[in-house]
Structure 1
Amino acid sequence: MSGIANQGLEKVSLQGKGFTIAIVGGTTGIGAAIARCFAKLGAERILIVGRNEERAAERIAEMDKLAPAGLKTNYEFVKGDISDLKGMKAAAASLEKIAGTSGITHFIMCQNGIPATEIQTNADGDENGFAVQALSRFTLAYLLLEHNVIAPGGVVLAVANPGLSLDTLSVDDLSLKKVAEAGRSKLLLFLDCSKRDSTVLDSVFEELSKRYPKQRFFHCHPGVVATELFNTGAFPFPMNLAVSLALWTIAPKPDDYAVVPVYLAVGSDIEEKYGSEKFFTSKLKPSPLGTWASNAENRQKLWKKLEARVLDS
């Protein structure tokens, strides 16, 4: 998985590039590993977005130790709770203020909203996992792009799950409340939520690339990564057993996986090697859009729904 990425990053140095890199979910797991990887490469300014100041301080101390000797660095914590729309907007506003006139050159989103086995909602009435996994990625990217915070030529990248398709998805039931009310089993609802998240994010990133042609967009799948907070109990039976086995046998550590999204974000040969591809598997293979997201009418209806949600609140 990481061989191509490691090789592609061998000669990459970010020193003197003037990059401002913002990582949502950067205090733990994959996000923290991505921050460490950027620090090793000499990124001079990294913004860590999360809820826990103590963890953020630990991550910043790690990055300081990993940065090239003598490099003057600016690592900052941006406190934000993206579990509901109010928190998402506040996080976007904080990032805009802290980024300043130079803006953000690389915006990486690693927040993890676990698919649901039963529908529980936040203050906005959105299913909790969906709000974090998909709605926050749209809202943050949309607000930062609309406010010109993402610099021209900048990168917006989501670490999530591209390529799945919930072909029955309705934009009027994005939280799948009606699906759950129809008596869906926990296992099938979990699978539906996972497909829903992928369908929505693929649709969003396809539309982002069309609506904001001055930036580049990527959506890459991590697969199962053995992060410190990975909770197999969140998976329904028998998936929890399969995931547990994967964690013990084949799952990479966060730092082993982190080179993949970092390579997509800053690799010098990405366009030469992959052209305009935006969606990738954990092995850096292009991932085609699913059936639902391939339909432009579906994507536009979804965009209108999500945009209205942000603007009307």
Structure 2
Amino acid sequence: MPSSTDAANHNARLNLSGKTAAVAGGTQGIGAAVGLRFAQAGASVFIIGRNEQLGQDVVKRCRAEAGRNADGRTFEFIKADLSSVNEVKRVAGEIKAKAGSNGIDYLVTTQGGPPAGKYELTASTPAHDAHFAVQTLSRFGLAYLLAQSGTLKDTWLSVCAPGGAQGPPADADDIELEKPEHRNRWMLGRIMGQGKQDGALGDAMAVQFTKHFPNLRSAHLFPGYVFTNAPANILPSFILPLVNLGGPLLARMPFGNLAHQYAEVPVYVAANPLARGQGLEFCNERMKPLGSPKWAEGEVGAKVWERLRRMIEE
């Protein structure tokens, strides 16, 4: 079965000179690794995230990877709190202005992460469930606004957990899982519910994106287990030593990857001509095609798209 090693082999001679990638959630983990891999392949890179220090560090590393070929290329950090719709709009406008008439070729959205089983509203206005705002709404908002303005020229790729062809439909009538039967579930139950909804909404967005912007591509990739420093953001401190001890070992198992290893897969799917026409727009970490769900093409998918569009445009 193919793997990140196969993607790396395919990418060995990938030349993205003259191309530009924007990576949301690019300050650490998978996003940072993807940004670095784009830089290694010759692309200009915008890194989007909340942490100024981490973001600037990734930019410096991108420039270092570019080496002598850095001249004439852009490596820039855009600080943003993507839980805010207004911030999403600002970032999309800033990318449009900075990229100019050439626009960007690839948008990779990795922000969000595993659900924490909580329901809490953002401090921004209008308020949304915090997990939903980052994991789903900001991904949709960046892709929608950049495509609508003509800034995005090629592919939107989102790294999350797709349901695939056999996945259950999203709850289009309660996309933030606000109803009492969702809000009042015990934590593990809500985590499972959020995870299921995340994947379904991601599938719906990817399918509907190409219907609304037929000149562009979309991809929704499941990364499997990738060891990163992201657990430090959500787990209690007393658990982290166990994660840091066992995580690298799991990453070396057949189902796991380190961040720099997995980064080959999204770069391959988004930017390598060899990946076109291979059915990889919905695939897992082994590059096994998962297919897209039929329900996402119909009424449920259209309802998800319209509700997200209204949230971004309100």
Give the TM-score, by structure 1 length: 0.87
**Could you report, residue by residue, the CA deviation over 1:42-81 in whole angstroms, capped at 9, with x for unpaired residues?**
22x2111112222222112211221153441321112221
Distance in 2 separating the partners of 1:168 and 1:132: 20
Partner of 2:149: 147
Could you tell which deviates more after superposition, 260-269 or 284-293? 284-293
| Cα 1:93/1:232, change in 2 over 3 Å | closer
Give 1:113 deviation, angstroms. Answer: 3.9
Give 1:242 deviation, angstroms. Answer: 9.7
Q: Is the counterpart of residue 26 in structure 1 residue 29 in structure 2?
A: no
Distance in 2 separating the partners of 1:195 and 1:201: 10
Q: Is the counterpart of residue 218 in structure 1 residue 219 in structure 2?
A: yes
Give 1:243 deviation, angstroms. Answer: 11
Task: Report SS of the residue matched to 1:89.
Answer: helix
Partner of 1:76: 76
2:157·2:218 contact (CA, 8 Å) conserved in 1?
A: yes
| Cα 1:113/1:226, change in 2 over 3 Å | closer
**Could you report, residue by residue, the CA deviation over 1:229-276 in whole angstroms, capped at 9, with x for unpaired residues?**
2249559xxxxx99985554234221111011011112121124x05x
| Cα 1:176/1:243, change in 2 over 3 Å | farther
Partner of 1:264: 269
Partner of 2:290: 287
Give 1:106 deviation, angstroms. Answer: 0.9
Give 1:172 deviation, angstroms. Answer: 2.9
**Gaps spanning 5+ residues in structure 1: where?**
236-240
**Could you report, residue by residue, the CA deviation over 1:262-299 in whole angstroms, capped at 9, with x for unpaired residues?**
11112121124x05x42111111111234753x51101
Partner of 1:56: 55
Residue pairs, 1:1-313, within 5 angstroms: 1-15=3-17, 18-43=18-43, 45-72=44-71, 73-122=73-122, 123=124, 124-151=126-153, 154-163=154-163, 167=168, 169-180=170-181, 183-231=184-232, 234=235, 245=246, 248-250=249-251, 251-272=256-277, 274-275=278-279, 277-290=280-293, 292-293=295-296, 296-311=298-313, 313=314
Root-mean-square deviation (CA, aligned residues, Å) is 2.5
| Cα 1:290/1:187, change in 2 over 3 Å | farther
1:224·1:246 contact (CA, 8 Å) conserved in 2?
A: no
1:42·1:68 contact (CA, 8 Å) conserved in 2?
A: no
Structure 2 residue identity aligned to 1:148:
G
**Could you report, residue by residue, the CA deviation over 1:62-116 in whole angstroms, capped at 9, with x for unpaired residues?**
1122115344132111222111212211111111111111111111111124314
Task: Give the percent of matched residue pairs that are identical in Structure 1 and Structure 2.
Answer: 30
**Gaps spanning 5+ residues in structure 2: where?**
237-241
| Cα 1:6/1:168, change in 2 over 3 Å | closer
**Could you report, residue by residue, the CA deviation over 1:134-187 in whole angstroms, capped at 9, with x for unpaired residues?**
111111111111111112xx1111111112688474323211121546742211
Give the TM-score, by structure 2 length: 0.87
Structure 2 residue identity aligned to 1:281:
N
Structure 2 residue identity aligned to 1:283:
R
Alignment coverage as a number of residue pairs = 299
Task: Report SS of the residue matched to 1:302.
Answer: helix
| Cα 1:254/1:202, change in 2 over 3 Å | same
2:162·2:199 contact (CA, 8 Å) conserved in 1?
A: yes
